[in-house]
Structure 1
Amino acid sequence: MASTRVVILPFPCQGHVIPMMELSHSLVEHGFKVTFVNTEFNHVRVLQALPNKGSNLKGINLVSIPDGLHPGEDRNDLGLLAEGFTKVMPGHLEELIRENNEKGEDKIKWLIADQNMGWSFPVAKKMGVRIACFWPASTACLTIMMLIPKLIEDGVLDEKGWPKRDEILQIAPKMPPIRTSQLSWNEIGDPRGQPTIFKLVTDNNKYMELAEVTVCNSFYEIESGAYTLFPNLLPIGPLLPDSKFEKSLGLFWPEDSTCMNWLDEQPQKSVIYVAFGSFTIFSEVQFKELAHGLVLTGQPFLWVVRPDFTTGLSKEWVDEFLVANKEKCRIVSWAPQQQVLAHGSVACFMSHCGWNSTLEGVRNGLPFLCWPYFTDQFTNQSYICNVWRNGLKMEADESGIVSRERVRDRVKELLASEEIATRVQELKESAGRSLSIGGTSYQDFKRFVNLMMKE
């Protein structure tokens, strides 16, 4: 039987590219051919960060289309980014599909697109391509988005998506309670971009009706409340490309794998892994408080500090800090995170609570110290602290700073908690069962693959 070619289209941010690349590898293993579409800007970054010249991308063809922004424009401004790609990318995607299919062989049969790129569904429909919707974040977050009309009708939100009152929203049992002021579309950074993002969200809800199936990077047991509300959603996660960590994840920065040698030298369950994803920005004051707080714990720590992680901090200060704490501290610009979290020396994960990081920590049996920055990360923190009970919040003081003493105390409290340790192990085992033969995610992925193989 000839291989089915699918187009994979992620939202153009690192946290969306990674799970869709993981999905791509899984589909290749089941005989599919993948055309993976990044924006031109991200395509260049992925190629530059690829190890071994992309030899670990077998069956996946990387291509690119423009995002509508000019060189130098801020692609971390989600409102600006969404405004650009919704205008420009539909025409380029249509052209990509047409050019491929006019060649007469290896025609594109399916589009699997990020739900956040719902504009692509009418394009696929027009071109006679079948549509699958992929949701890369928590299903709880998607559920809340799908319930926007009801939240407006109930007077929780106004017509523009802003809360009419600040309250705790509990959608259903086993769903994470979330403040109405912290709903994902209202926590995007610059509030001037909120109208664009809210329109994108509501438009995408309508576009979902064009998809034959919606699959989620999650598993039933960890989000049963959301799946009870919307039983047609298929959880197929936690997605994992390979157990040896050899396949490319479409990273935007080269990994510094030398930190793995450093981890090998540390005692079992001793290291604090500190990583805040691809967007989080710290002030100079907060950076220094965190640095000193990590030292006060007395634990070794591995800290991912992107080049743009903080502003105003001198290289001299960082160099002096590293020299003074060389026995206990390792700082890298980007880490092979999945390998790090699977390493036996790691004791806990201080995280921004992005969904990929959240699932990776759960799958590897690690407790969390939660430090969310924006969008859905507050929902994920609520899951961790209020529903799953496998972590603690890093709470700021009256000045908005998490002090060094607070960092020290929270780490010690987390590592001493037997209740959290028990929950962490239970969640790890649950994730493993879902992916095992006969497990919930195993079965749902099988249904997904069978659907795509049907003519």
Structure 2
Amino acid sequence: MSYPHFLVMPYPILGHMNPLLQFSQVLANHGCKITFLITEFNQKRMKSEIDHLGAQIKFVTLPDGLDPEDDRSDQPKVILSLRNTMPTKLHRLIQDINNNNNALDGDNNKITCLVVSKNIGWALEVAHKLGIKGALLWPASATSLASFESIPRLIDEGIIDSETGLPTRKQEIQLLPNSPMMDTANLPWCSLGKNFFLHMVEDTQSLKLGEWWLCNTTCDLEPGALAMWPRFLSIGPLMQSDTNKSSFWREDTTCLHWLDQHPPQSVVYVSFGSLAIVEPNQFNELAIGLDLLNKPFLWVVRPSNENNKVNNTYPNEFHGSKGKIIGWAPQKKILNHPAIACFITHCGWNSIIEGVCGGIPFLCWPFFSDQFINKSYICDVWKVGLGLDQDENGLIMKGEIRKKVEQLLGNEDIKARSVKLKELTVNNFDEGGQSSQNIEKFINWAKD
């Protein structure tokens, strides 16, 4: 039997690379051949992961067009550089791979399908010109993907401005059937500026060259979004298949032994993902708020640069005697540890999927983009968490943190719903589950 050869190409940030790497492992376990494209810059940061997966997945690299000293947290700069410098290099790479068949491999060595994440829709144009099939693996929720697909309708209905994407007036809308009401100010592009909005309009059009739009979600989590367009295909939760995660920072596994010393459902876990930045005043409130809990806490304070120096200064009043602070976490293992009581999160989709699969209640602290939509699902639809409210200065105060943690941990209904949602979600990846069937469907499509 001939299996397809996938070239998998994530946008080069951790929140995109992880789900595409996890999906690559799933495809490889089904017998597919995988070539995984990363930037030369990230190759140096992912050496241990590449060494670990080298037998299952072949890694190839291309330059991102930026200088070594450039700030790669400047997403508009990265997006523009990739678009300007990489298409011709990608075209040549695919041709080189497809021309290097040997007699033993035959056509099986040729790339049959390109899988990309968002922000690089142009890559599907390259594949299309070469006669190669394409698909999108969206790294966020299906609902956020549906919101970008809905931009023309939102413009036609006068809900958003065609040039900026900003709402024309203050109102709440229901973006999709069976989805929560949302403030138009919280549409995913509103906090990211006009240029990002215009980029996403263009990118979404290019992504339509992908016959399938794969989503790391399930029909139980987002039925309204998945029912909207035939090309949406749920394949989650991908993290069920994952043993090791790619990471740009060294994971501190000492926290797992530390968790072993604590009773079940006693530790508050705090992590805001790989991009969100907590400003100094807010950092102080969070630190003191965690102290006020008088409970054990595990807090991820991410290294702020390549030299692993943290630029946050802890307030003098902070003791942290009941807590453990680490630079980066083996998050999936943490969220499946019996000692964890709740998860204070930025509501990034990968973190939400991991929390749901751990059966953990959430305390929601969204920063930007789709994180506000995700909060609505957690609090208003699935009802497995609570939101944190800002004061008149836009700060989440220490007293609010303590109050909401106590409310959450005292709510037995939320705990019960969290466990039930875990069962519903994980079952999709079991043999015969909806996501497993959809992955088989996708592989069979790529074979033809």
For 2:329 and 2:310, locate their aligned partners in 1 and report how far apart those are by CA, in whole Å.
21
Which shifted more, 165-174 or 95-104?
Answer: 165-174
Q: CA deviation at 1:444?
A: 1.1
For 1:335 and 1:292, locate their aligned partners in 2 and report how far apart those are by CA, in whole Å.
21
Corresponding residue of 2:178:
174
Q: CA deviation at 1:273?
A: 0.7
Cα 1:260/1:319, change in 2 over 3 Å: farther
Q: CA deviation at 1:201?
A: 1.4
Q: CA deviation at 1:359?
A: 0.8
Corresponding residue of 2:105:
none
Corresponding residue of 1:187:
191
Cα 1:311/1:436, change in 2 over 3 Å: closer
Corresponding residue of 1:146:
149
Q: Are the aligned partners of 2:211 and 2:231 in contact in 1 as well (CA < 8 Å)?
A: no
Corresponding residue of 1:91:
88
Q: CA deviation at 1:136?
A: 1.4
Corresponding residue of 1:65:
62
Q: CA deviation at 1:128?
A: 2.3
Q: CA deviation at 1:103?
A: 1.0
Q: Are the aligned partners of 1:56 and 1:246 in contact in 2 as well (CA < 8 Å)?
A: no
Corresponding residue of 2:226:
227
Give the residue type in structure 2 aligned to 1:325: G
Cα 1:130/1:389, change in 2 over 3 Å: same
Q: CA deviation at 1:265?
A: 0.7
Give the residue type in structure 2 aligned to 1:408: R
Q: List gaps (5 residues or longer) in structure 1.
A: none
Corresponding residue of 1:214:
213
Matches within 5 A, 1:368-447: 368-447=362-441
Q: Are the aligned partners of 2:240 and 2:429 in contact in 1 as well (CA < 8 Å)?
A: no
Question: Over residues 72-101 of structure 1, what are the superposed CA-to-partner deviations in whole Å (9 max), with x where a residue is unaligned?
Answer: 222222222211111111111111111111
Give the residue type in structure 2 aligned to 1:32: C
Pick aligned residue for 1:362 from 353, 356, 380: 356
For 2:94 and 2:148, locate their aligned partners in 1 and report how far apart those are by CA, in whole Å.
30
Q: Are the aligned partners of 1:25 and 1:241 in contact in 2 as well (CA < 8 Å)?
A: no
Corresponding residue of 2:346:
352
Determine if the alignment matches structure 1 residue 251 to structure 2 residue 217: no
Q: CA deviation at 1:311?
A: 7.5
Q: Are the aligned partners of 2:236 and 2:429 in contact in 1 as well (CA < 8 Å)?
A: yes
Match of 2:73, SS state, is: coil
Corresponding residue of 1:199:
198
Corresponding residue of 1:79:
76
Question: Over residues 249-291 of structure 1, what are the superposed CA-to-partner deviations in whole Å (9 max), with x where a residue is unaligned?
Answer: 2211111111111011111111111000011111222112111
TM-score normalized by the length of structure 1: 0.92
For 1:88 and 1:45, locate their aligned partners in 2 and report how far apart those are by CA, in whole Å.
21
Determine if the alignment matches structure 1 residue 165 to structure 2 residue 161: no
For 2:311 and 2:75, locate their aligned partners in 1 and report how far apart those are by CA, in whole Å.
24
Pick aligned residue for 1:262 from 258, 261, 269: 258
Cα 1:41/1:232, change in 2 over 3 Å: same
Question: Over residues 350-369 of structure 1, what are the superposed CA-to-partner deviations in whole Å (9 max), with x where a residue is unaligned?
Answer: 00000000111111111111
Determine if the alignment matches structure 1 residue 305 to structure 2 residue 304: no
Determine if the alignment matches structure 1 residue 281 to structure 2 residue 280: no
Corresponding residue of 1:26:
26
Q: Are the aligned partners of 1:5 and 1:35 in contact in 2 as well (CA < 8 Å)?
A: yes
Q: CA deviation at 1:41?
A: 2.1
Match of 1:331, SS state, is: strand
Corresponding residue of 2:320:
325
For 2:128 and 2:411, locate their aligned partners in 1 and report how far apart those are by CA, in whole Å.
52
The two structures, once aligned, show a CA RMSD in angstroms of: 2.0
Determine if the alignment matches structure 1 residue 117 to structure 2 residue 112: no
For 1:133 and 1:46, locate their aligned partners in 2 and report how far apart those are by CA, in whole Å.
23
Cα 1:296/1:234, change in 2 over 3 Å: same
Q: CA deviation at 1:443?
A: 1.4
Determine if the alignment matches structure 1 residue 10 to structure 2 residue 6: no
Match of 1:172, SS state, is: coil
Q: Are the aligned partners of 1:284 and 1:311 in contact in 2 as well (CA < 8 Å)?
A: no
Q: Are the aligned partners of 2:2 and 2:447 in contact in 1 as well (CA < 8 Å)?
A: no
Identity %: 40
Give the residue type in structure 1 aligned to 2:138: W
For 1:238 and 1:123, locate their aligned partners in 2 and report how far apart those are by CA, in whole Å.
29
Q: CA deviation at 1:40?
A: 2.1
Match of 1:240, SS state, is: helix
For 1:235 and 1:184, locate their aligned partners in 2 and report how far apart those are by CA, in whole Å.
20
Q: Are the aligned partners of 2:288 and 2:317 in contact in 1 as well (CA < 8 Å)?
A: no
For 2:333 and 2:147, locate their aligned partners in 1 and report how far apart those are by CA, in whole Å.
32
TM-score normalized by the length of structure 2: 0.93
Give the residue type in structure 1 aligned to 2:173: L
Count of equivalent residues: 438
Pick aligned residue for 2:129 from 123, 126, 129: 126
Q: Are the aligned partners of 1:282 and 1:311 in contact in 2 as well (CA < 8 Å)?
A: no
Give the residue type in structure 1 aligned to 2:329: A
Give the residue type in structure 1 aligned to 2:342: C
Q: Are the aligned partners of 2:79 and 2:119 in contact in 1 as well (CA < 8 Å)?
A: no
Q: Are the aligned partners of 1:281 and 1:308 in contact in 2 as well (CA < 8 Å)?
A: no
Question: Over residues 151-178 of structure 1, what are the superposed CA-to-partner deviations in whole Å (9 max), with x where a residue is unaligned?
Answer: 0000001112221112212123321322
Q: Are the aligned partners of 2:252 and 2:330 in contact in 1 as well (CA < 8 Å)?
A: yes
